[in-house]
Amino acid sequence: MNIELTTEQKALQLEVREYMKTIMTPELLQEMKIPEYKEGGGPEFRKQYARMGADGWIGLSWSKELGGREMTHVEQYIFTDEVVRSGFAYPFLTTEAVTPVIAANANDKVRDEVVGGVRDGKVVIAIGYSEPNAGTDLASLTTKAERDGDDWIINGQKMWTSLANFADYVWLAARTDPDASKKHKGLTMFLVPTTLEGFSHTPVHTLGVRTNATYFSDIRLPDKYRVGEINGGWKLITGQLNIERLSLFTHGQVDSLYQGVCEWAAATPSPAGGKLIEQSWVQHNLARVKSGLEVVKLICWKQAWSMDQGALDMADASVAKVYGSEFFVELYRLLLEVMGQAGAIATDSPGAVLKGKLEFRWRVGSILTFGGGANEVQRDIIAMAGLWMPRTR
Amino acid sequence: MDFTISEELGSVQQLAQQILADFTGVDQLGIIEQQQERIDGKLWHALAEAGLLGLDIEESMGGTDMGFYSLAMLCEEVGRTVAPVPVIPVLVSTAGTLRRFASPAQKEQWLPGIANGSSLLSAALEEYNNDDPAKPACSATAMEGGYAISGTKICVSSAGSAKRILLSATTGDELVVALVDPLAAGVTLTPQVVTSGETCHELQLENVQVPGDDIIATGGKALEAMEWAHQATRTALCAMAVGVCDKMMRITGQYTSEREQFGRAIATFQAVSHRVADCYIDVECLRLVTQQAASRLDQGRPAREAVAIAKIWCGDVTHRVSQASQHCHGGTGVDRDYPLHRFCLLARQIELSAGSSALLTAQLGQDICAAYT
């Protein structure tokens, strides 16, 4: 039992932190001020993403055969944590969640095309799971793929397809057997190039960032873009969701907000005299944030470590999701309270504290408790997998 | 970074579990509760026989020297079984401090007896409205060959059978850490029944003369000793809370899976199962911050912040898990014939010992302020 990064791990942390400073160029920071490009997709984003690929930073934990470095999950987490801390809109779902599944299940040609493209920092993949009527109950999705000779004809609509406005592919879950005995048994996974005729998207403006509704209208898709077995999609989706949850709640992104607010409060005069950070109510909020943050760090480390040891415990993965999402929202509030009225001033308005980062993160954070698997479902999983309690109804 | 429980630690844990299970049946717990001093002497002896009282005592002093982490694990198992043995005051607060700060002669005098179970020493770290032994109100006055100590300590565990009680006092200029003989002139022990059910004692000292042989440390070394004792005691309480809360939650998971109302197990209501799931999350959080604090102490690394954070979580989690467990049990939870109540009482006792969440949150906030200004 030794809960501390090793010297080598600390060196990697520092290396990534320094490297990411070179990625966050002034041009990129300028580009990210354009709402359309806030979450990536602009030319400068593309340029820096490709540079990370060329410099060998993408796919650290992949096998050498795929062009990765076979790093441990702990090292991979250290990388993820620092990249998120830097503010770069790195497409984690593409690199960490979806690509390994594609590598393991796609046919050789598509594997080379897609996995190679991701490794080089040239490919971004959007996730096409949710639909207007299939959210938490994902297995009820109705977008359908019908066989036609060597091709599939795809029709339907997806919702919340983030990055689809600039992604190269959509990782699509579609129904291939409408008569399956259980609805999750009739699903198949496809990679849909966004250049195909019949694909379109419209923006959906959320409280935080832009996302998309995507439309699939008589798209003719060659069978080589099917990933995994016909009607075998559910396993690929659920396997990926567990990994997705791991990259959602990293420590660095909120730790840097916390540190920023501490520094701000230490430099800002209080009307009561002295600095704001000397006020007991400010100290109280900062201490509550700090004690919660420590658990975020430990949960992340433990999960990464567990993955290196073998399997990730199902209940633990759900604990991380529920705790992370609910604490992030709480942290935003506690830190915004310290700023008071100024906490509500948006980025680029005069007087915005810490460039309005917290105001913005709170907006984005409101999706955390239901995104990536609603917390109610996670609690069901915890009760069943962690405590052997019966299924709720 | 490594969360592995080594084979060595794993076998300590297993051994502790076996012995504790043998002595903590409901009937046996009930018998010990009738005693004036709530210590199961036979269990204490069995733990000594197995080498478990000397986990954090050098081999040359009769211990097994497995380190602080193994002792924290023993505390967790004692919590899990609500076993009536004073592992924290005797093994952590007292033996742990003596091991690190006493002279070779003092260690020779006391540690072998603690390790083999033949003598029991306790600690008195708290005063009214003051949980910090590094800042005592008790006074010490230097005298020929020792110190005279006056003042009041509270909620002292195992004071009735302790040969010495470790405590601190101040001369005004410097801190003094001493072993006080409870039979010495000027000592008054008044029984204080506390939430856990244990009869502790208020310890009044009126010009109690402590010979030089029983002075453990003075000045900077005494300060260091009391800071260590404070952190180690808090961490051990957190470890015990992990055991208490983990067990309470599992009892509740099982009870709600069996208890039927409206024709179905009440665990099949989400409102019930989610409350237990929240306990699971809480216990996992407490486990992680406790492991971090214990491993830092084990390796002799700075632990002030890690310990404060662990004890903040400890106070919050003991409260929440205890209340949720009682609630989900309905009336059964408060029935003294059902085992849950012992866990709830011990949970509250731990929460209020050695600094509450509110106090530690305030102190952590002051530390943060100091780090940034």
Residue A185 lies in a domain: yes
Partner-chain contact A383 B298, CB within 8 Å: no
Q: Is A44 a catalytic residue?
A: no
Distance CA B189, CA A36 (A): 74
% of chain B exceeding 70 in pLDDT: 100
Closest to A383 (Cβ–Cβ): which among B6, B277, B369?
A: B277
Å from A392 to nearest chain B CA? 4
Residue A277 lies in a domain: yes
Closest to B273 (Cβ–Cβ): which among A263, A301, A380?
A: A380
Phi, psi of B141 (to 5 degrees): -125, 125
Picking from A7-11, A177-181, B249-253, which range would have the lowest pLDDT averaged per residue?
A177-181
- The pLDDT tens digits of the residues spanning B80-127 come to 999 999 999 999 999 999 999 999 999 999 999 999 999 999 999 999
User: A85 and A150: one domain?
Assistant: no
Residue A36 has what pLDDT? Answer: 82
Residue B69 and residue B294 in contact, taking contact as beta carbons nearer than 8 Å: yes
Residue A350 lies in a domain: yes
- Chain A CB within 8 Å of residue B235 CB: no
Residue A242 lies in a domain: no
Residue A56 lies in a domain: yes
Residue A239 has what pLDDT? Answer: 75
Distance CA B304, CA B311 (A): 11
Mean pLDDT of B311-322: 98
Residue B91 and residue B218 in contact, taking contact as beta carbons nearer than 8 Å: no
What confidence category does residue A371 fall into, taking pLDDT thresholds of 50, 70 and 90?
confident
The CATH T-level fold of domain B123-221 is: Butyryl-CoA Dehydrogenase, subunit A; domain 2 (2.40.110)
Partner-chain contact B365 A387, CB within 8 Å: no
Reply yes or no on whether the pLDDT at A144 is more than 70: yes
Picking from A203-212, B129-138, B275-284, which range would have the lowest pLDDT averaged per residue?
A203-212
User: A227 and A255: one domain?
Assistant: no
Residue A1 lies in a domain: no
Mean pLDDT of chain B: 97
CATH of residue A169's domain is: 2.40.110.10
Report helix, strand or coil for A179. Answer: coil
- Chain A CB within 8 Å of residue B262 CB: no
Residue A117 lies in a domain: no
Å from A306 to nearest chain B CA? 9
Beta bridge partners of B193: B199
In chain B, CATH 2.40.110.10 sits at 123-221
Domain tally, chain A = 3
User: A253 and A378: one domain?
Assistant: yes
User: A192 and A63: one domain?
Assistant: no
User: A66 and A138: one domain?
Assistant: no
User: A253 and A203: one domain?
Assistant: no
Reply yes or no on whether the pLDDT at A290 is more than 70: yes
Query: What is the identity of the amino acid at A114?
Result: V
Domain range for residue A280?
Answer: 249-387
Mean pLDDT of B211-228: 98
Q: Residue B189 belongs to what H/E stretch? A: strand B187-193
- The pLDDT tens digits of the residues spanning A320-367 come to 999 999 999 999 999 999 999 999 999 889 999 999 999 999 998 888
| Residues in A touching B288 (Cβ below 8 Å) | 295, 298-299, 302
Reply yes or no on whether the pLDDT at A21 is more than 90: yes
What confidence category does residue A263 fall into, taking pLDDT thresholds of 50, 70 and 90?
very high
Distance CA A187, CA A169 (A): 18
Reply yes or no on whether the pLDDT at A61 is more than 90: no
- The pLDDT tens digits of the residues spanning A91-100 come to 988 998 899 8
User: A205 and A310: one domain?
Assistant: no
Reply yes or no on whether the pLDDT at A242 is more than 70: no
H-assigned helices in chain B? 7-23, 26-34, 41-49, 68-81, 97-101, 104-115, 219-258, 270-298, 304-329, 340-352, 357-372
- Show the CA angle centred on residue B48, arms to residues B44 and B50, nearest 5°: 120
Q: Quick one: B7-119 is in which CATH superfamily? A: Acyl-CoA dehydrogenase/oxidase, N-terminal domain (1.10.540.10)
Å from A251 to nearest chain B CA? 15
Partner-chain contact A287 B274, CB within 8 Å: no
Radius of gyration of chain B from its Cα atoms, rounded to whole angstroms? 21
Residue A182 burial (10 A CB sphere; 0-12, 13-18, 19+):
exposed
Closest to B368 (Cβ–Cβ): which among A5, A286, A387?
A: A286
Mean pLDDT of B292-313: 97
Residue A62 has what pLDDT? Answer: 82
Residue A1 has what pLDDT? Answer: 87
- Show the CA angle centred on residue B45, arms to residues B40 and B50, nearest 5°: 130
The encoded tokens of residue A281 equal 């109510």
Report helix, strand or coil for A262. Answer: helix
Reply yes or no on whether the pLDDT at B144 is more than 80: yes
Crossing angle of helices A251-267/A314-339, nearest 10°? 20
- Chain A CB within 8 Å of residue B300 CB: no
Residue A99 lies in a domain: no
% of chain A exceeding 70 in pLDDT: 98
Report DSSP state, residue A198. T
ipTM: 0.95
| Residues in A touching B3 (Cβ below 8 Å) | 1, 3, 301-302, 305-306
CATH number of this structure's domain B223-372: 1.20.140.10
- The pLDDT tens digits of the residues spanning A201-235 come to 999 998 888 899 999 999 999 999 999 999 999 99
In chain B, CATH 1.20.140.10 sits at 223-372
Residue A96 has what pLDDT? Answer: 85
Å from B78 to nearest chain A CA? 20
In chain B, CATH 1.10.540.10 sits at 7-119
User: A354 and A294: one domain?
Assistant: yes
Altogether, the residues listed in chain B come to a count of 373
The encoded tokens of residue B336 equal 């003294």
What confidence category does residue A63 fall into, taking pLDDT thresholds of 50, 70 and 90?
confident
- Of the residues A199, A232, A265, which one is the last residue of a structural domain? A232
Distance CA B245, CA B347 (A): 7
Residue B189 and residue B152 in contact, taking contact as beta carbons nearer than 8 Å: no
* DSSP states along A11-55: HHHHHHHHHHHHHS-HHHHHHTTSGGGTTS-SHHHHHHHHHHHHT
Mean pLDDT of B310-328: 98
- Of the residues A90, A108, A136, which one is the last residue of a structural domain? A90
Closest alpha carbon within chain A to B369: A277
User: A159 and A39: one domain?
Assistant: no
- Chain A CB within 8 Å of residue B187 CB: no
Partner-chain contact A291 B369, CB within 8 Å: no
Residue A372 has what pLDDT? Answer: 79
- Active-site annotation holder among A113, A244, A263, A359: A244
Residue A246 has what pLDDT? Answer: 66
Residue A171 has what pLDDT? Answer: 96
Mean pLDDT of A150-176: 96
Reply yes or no on whether the pLDDT at A376 is more than 90: yes
Residue B1 has what pLDDT? Answer: 87
CATH of residue A54's domain is: 1.10.540.10
Residue A356 has what pLDDT? Answer: 92
